[in-house]
Every structure is written in structure tokens, then in C-alpha cells.
Amino acid sequence: MQGRRILIGIGGGIAAYKICEVVSRLFQAGVEVRVILTKASQEFITPLTLTTLSRHRAYTDEGFWQPIHARPVHIELGEWAEVFVIAPLTANTLGKLAHGLADNLLTNTILASCCPVLLAPAMNTEMWEQQAVQRNWQQLLTDSRYHSVGPDAGLLACDRVGAGRMAEPAEIITSIQSLLHTGGKQDLIGKRVLISTGGTREYLDPVRFIGNPSTGKMGLALAQAAKHRGATVTLVHAPATWEVPLGIRAISVVSAAQMQQAMWENFPDADLIVMAAAVADVKPTEYVAEKLPKQLLPASLPLEPVPDILAELGHRKQPHQLLIGFAAQTGDIVTPALEKLSNKKLDGIAANPIDQPDTGFGSDFNQAIFLDKNGRKLTIEPCSKLQLAHHLLDFVKAIN
């Protein structure tokens, strides 16, 4: 995100304090951040806070007519921004945007800009559920310029538990990253995407299992990227430490057999299927229901193979479906990936090295060589898993 230009408009709500973290994290990632505060937002946080965090003057209504480079502030900022984030979005600002009204620096800058706008609503549940507020919200989202993140449900500052809590900073930043990649295009609207992720586990007894170090972050990033591009996403995931974001249908599994069943059930409805899961290839032939004392653990463990889920899907695939695999490899990553592409009847495969520092298993970064059934090959240098996910979706869209 180095050098990218993000404009953040802060509305008057207690969630404004969370935006300080967003601004700080963006700045640390090398992003140029500019901030506009409404009058009401300054009841919660100060321009000085945001000036300090963004290392740049924070803009307020008082400075509306203090030009930047001899140009009006709202025009200059509107043209400058690559992505405009409104967080927290209050019922009042939402109402104004839905009706094209502008009576302060924030709303005037929105009308003076044409970049994608990311909206992060935050309000009390009663306010959020008002018919008028919901009407405004739905109406605003019919405009392709506007994108949403949240609101989540949970404990609110008014002590209510319900919908209306602003999305967490990490989720807002992920949405910003997607918008920077796509420019706001939603090229997967109407598509159903099925993704598997994480390391499956094959238990020997209730406490011991055969597994692998996969954390499932790659599949999570793929699910987020596909959702941000408009797809309906189902994520079949093995045990994970992260939470599945709102708007993604999650199916939690443990073993390869459970993953196989979940993939089979959801496969017929899917247009694009990506097996990012690291399936444990074998399981103990016998499961013992009580924890085995260590003296009784066998010196050698009889094993049997688990089903190859991807190969089975490859044989059942319909012509309109695209099936993509992953190949986590060491050494030469291309030759075995090409074999898997062909043997499992895939449309494409992402070969990623797991013997490089700070990429692959457990990392937030990855690198890969994408290969398709028509001989296309694309090398993606180390980048965030979300960026790699977007590159893979771009690559997959061009498979014919």
C-alpha cells in the first residue's frame, strides 16, 4: 500500500476512537492518509489526534475555506483520494449521502470526488433498524460507487447487544486493500465461490492428531477478496484461530472426511471452487475414544490414505465450473504442480513455495506461480495474502 492515497471522513459516534488505529496502521504501512472530521466527531476525538497520527493537517469545517495549493479543500481532497472511507458513518451522514445533500466539508468532499467510497456504519441498534435508515442504506448501495463494511453485531456502547457496531479496524483495512486493487469493480457479482482452507486433522485419540502447520489464512484472504468483488462465498475451513467475517457463509470441519462431505454438498451450486486447504494425506487406521496413556502409544502407527477431495471434484466438474487447486511445494514447485493440474483435471493451480522465509504456512505473506490448463504461467512476487488472492482471481477470470 506504499504511497497510496486514502481519505478518511470521521462522523460523530463513539466508534470514532477506533479510526485512530486505522489511521495509524495505514500510516505505518506507508499509506498517505488525510482525515476530515465533522463537528460532531470532535466531541469524541480531536483534530490534533488525527494530525499526529496521519502526520498531516486534519481537516475540519473551520478550515473549509482555507485552500490547499490555492484550490478549495473539498475539490483538492476529492480529486486526491484513491479511496474515501467514511467511518463511523452516522445515520445523519447516511441520510445526506442517500439524498445527495452536502452541508459540511465531509459531505461536500464526497460530492466533489468520484473514487470508490467505503462506508462503515456505526449506531445504536434501534437507529440502525429504523425503516428510514434502512431505506437510505439500501438506496445508497444501489450506487456502484459505494461499498460497505459492517456493521457487526455485538455489545454496543449503549449496553445493547445487537446490530450496529462498527467493523473492526482490521476488517476496514482489508476492505481498503481490496478497493485499492480493484478500483471498486465488482466483477464477481452473481458468482458463487466455494473455498476450502486450513489444515485438516486426523485424530488418533481425543488429544493427538496428524496435521500440518496451515493456518487457513490464504483461503480466508481468498474468501474476503471474492466477497469484496461481489461473489456469494462459502468457506469450508479446518480449525482456525481467526473469525470468519460477516457476509461469508462458513462451514467448520475437522477431518478430511468432513471436508469432503462439505465440499461435495456445496460443489454442485458453485461456479468457482478453490481448494486452498492443506489436507492431511493420511489418517490412523484406528481411532481410540479414550485418551491413550503414553505407555500404550504404539511404536509405529498404522495409517491409511484419506480421500483426494480435489481429484474427486475434478472428475465431477461440469463445463461451466472452474476448479482451482493449490500446491505447496519445496524445491522445484512447477513440475509437481503441473502434474497435479493434469492428474486432478483442474483448470488452474497456484504453486507456492513453503521453503522461503516469511511466506506460506502461517505467514501473512505469500508468493506463487499460477499455472492454467492452457499453458498460461504467471509469477507473483511476495505480497500480502489478500493481494495474492486478488491476483489469483484476476488470473482465474481469464481462463477460457
Task: Write out the residues near ligand CTP by the rule CB under 6 A.
Answer: 256, 275, 277, 279, 281, 306, 308-310, 325-328, 336, 340
What are 301's three cell numbers? 502407527
CB of 119 or CB of 354, closer to ligand CTP = 354
20 in catalytic set: no
**Beta-carbon count within 10 A of 214 CB:** 25
CB of 11 or CB of 353, closer to ligand CTP = 353
Q: How far apart are CA 277 and CA 257, in angstroms?
A: 13
**Residue 308 Cβ, how far from ligand CTP at the closest point, in Å?**
4
Tell me the DSSP string of 310-360.
Answer: HHHHHHH--TT-EEEEEEEESS--HHHHHHHHHHTT-SEEEEEESSSTT-S
Among the options 20, 114, 115, 158, which is catalytic?
158
**Residue 359 Cβ, how far from ligand CTP at the closest point, in Å?**
16
**Residue 284 Cβ, how far from ligand CTP at the closest point, in Å?**
15
**Residue 136 Cβ, how far from ligand CTP at the closest point, in Å?**
43
Longest CA–CA separation in the chain, Å: 81
Residue type at 229? Answer: R
CB of 172 or CB of 238, closer to ligand CTP = 238
CB of 231 or CB of 306, closer to ligand CTP = 306
Residue labelled with grid coordinates 466477497: 227
**Residue 58 Cβ, how far from ligand CTP at the closest point, in Å?**
47
What are 270's three cell numbers? 458453485
| Residue 204, CA atoms < 13 Å, CB-side half-sphere | 18
Beta pairing partners, 217: none
CB of 73 or CB of 324, closer to ligand CTP = 324
Q: How far apart are CA 60 and CA 42, in angstroms?
A: 9
Active site members: 158
